[in-house]
Chain A
Amino acid sequence: MSWPPMLMHIKVRNVKTNFGCWIPLFLFYPIVLAVLLVLLPFILIGIFIAWLMGYGNWMRFILKTSFTMFWSLRGLKVDVQGRKDIVHFSII
């Protein structure tokens, strides 16, 4: 079973900046879910209008692919180390 991204780690280090943080994405999911539930009537109206205008399939495709892309972000890692700069980004 694949899980959604749970944590995001960002680290930037150069002459001026030394910044690093862990973002607990899993804490945002309940909030996002609650916001989506509140906005659900408007979203449904939007989807209905889009369907009537002939953009239904297009919208469904975009939503599905975006969701799949977000779900697949887990495991992404970018680590760049220069002479003076370090940029690290990973999603766990």
Chain B
Amino acid sequence: MNHSTTANGNGSTLSSSTDAVEAEIRDRADPRQVLADRVAQLYRQMPIAIGATFIAGAIATFELQGRWLTQLVLIWWVIVVLFTLAASTLLVVYRRSPDKLASAPQWLRWLAIAALGNGASWGLAGGVFFRSLSDEQQVFLAFLFAGMASVGIPVYAASWPIFALYAAGILFPFFYVLLTFGNRLFVEIALLVPLFYAINVAIAYRLTQVFHSGYRLRHAYGKLTEDHRVLNQRLERQLVELEEARRQVEASGRKLALFAERAPIAVLELQPDGTVTEVNHAAEILFGYAAAELVGGSVKKLVRAEFHGEFDRTWDSLLTTRESVAGMKIRNPRRDGVDLICEWTVTPLVNFRAEVIAVIAQGRDITAQLEAERMKKEFTSTLSHELRTPLTSIIGSLQLINSGVMGEVEKDIAELSMVAERNAQRLLDLINDILDIEKIESGKLTLEPETMPVDELVREAMLLNKGFGDRFKVRFEARGGAAGRTVHADRKRLLQVMTNLLSNAAKFSPEGGVVDISTDEAGPSVRVAVHDRGSGIPEAFRARIFGRFTQADSTATRQKGGTGLGLAICKRLVELMEGRIGFDDRAGGGTTFWFELPRSSA
């Protein structure tokens, strides 16, 4: 029992898997192709059918002639010959047809007609001649019919309905004649005819199935072979592409290695646990270790022990965020114990599973740079303190003498001490200007912007510089077209700009001249312009007027004072306040210096 169950089980599994295979084959084979193949098979067999019909027809005609039926038999013979010709024509046309695949159903129908005609021509013979024949001839004819019917099986096996039509054409009239002959034996034989017919058709049906699946298999196999070929081609192509990609990766790898090797910056490749796997030549030179001394050890060898805790924290966060960190300053001890300060860019390399597989650290020695910065700062601080302190004494002493609180001084001495004070003041201005420039350029100047009316600012600047104007016997006059307009700017610094422009204008104006100050709206900005009646700016000097230490004529510096830094500071200050500064020639002689600042909404 168990055994049979198992067998059944196996059987069903087997059959179901066979079904699956068949279904797959069905899907793979193109049914149109299978049909076309079957039609081709049928046409290939046609010469046999035509030949058999012709020969059998000739024999039958020869056997049956010589009686009263002679004319009828000859007519039948003509019909058989005509059919043979028609069938041959059909065969020829089919063979020459360029399109056997798409019109296969059409060819099948033609063949069905031909087969029916073939069968019917035999049927005609049976229906017309049988009754009038002698017993021997009847046996001959019956034998002929049976033979022709069975010959049809291999000929039309590729399509059982065609065989069915063909055999029906032969046997149906014969069956009728036998049945109505009036002879009991013939009736019994007649009853056997449909049985034979059914058996033959069944055999043809089975054969058709066999042919069908045979062709289907052939095509499925062809399709499989084709698929296989395409797949192979694709694989081959991918292999070529892969090889090309590998070569490219290798090439860029070599290039990268070369970059790292020749780079002036230290490059270290580290494992996620901080073990050094590779270092470049620059790293060897920078830290004084040979590559072999670093590779395989922890990178902490290059970090001072007291910073190991901080290093671990940074490292952990790097592995967590998996994001590159730039500008990390680390104190790195060299092999000889000297500390270097290096700026590091550290980049974790992440694989497709988002795991860190390596960390690339690129370091630049900035010790010298930091030292230079420190020295510059120190220098600035020295300039600011060590120069100002003695100047305080000098200017203070001269001021006390010149103010008269120390009593009357002889005229010549008083004059000299005035010169001394003025020049000491100039030196102080120069120091202040240099400090200003330094502060602006290092980005350390912080502005304290406020909203203020422009005309108020101009008035304040004129008041502040009145003394300076008096010294050069120059008068300041304001005319405003932007009354009440406000700007958002640092008052102290803007006054510094105005003071520079006004004192320049005063210095370069003729004695007794007037310097006009105008305020106007200029689009979204306010323009403040200082117009002088001086000799204008020499051509050669125009391009570098806002540069450092520039004055048109160095003798002018000595005569009129000034550091040559004033306009450079003005330009930087105005630009810091998001404005612009420039100058134009003034019609009728003189120069106009102007600056524009964005108007504030308040």
Q: Does B associate with A? A: no
Chain A residues packing against B (C-beta within 8 Å) = none
Chain B residues packing against A (C-beta within 8 Å) = none
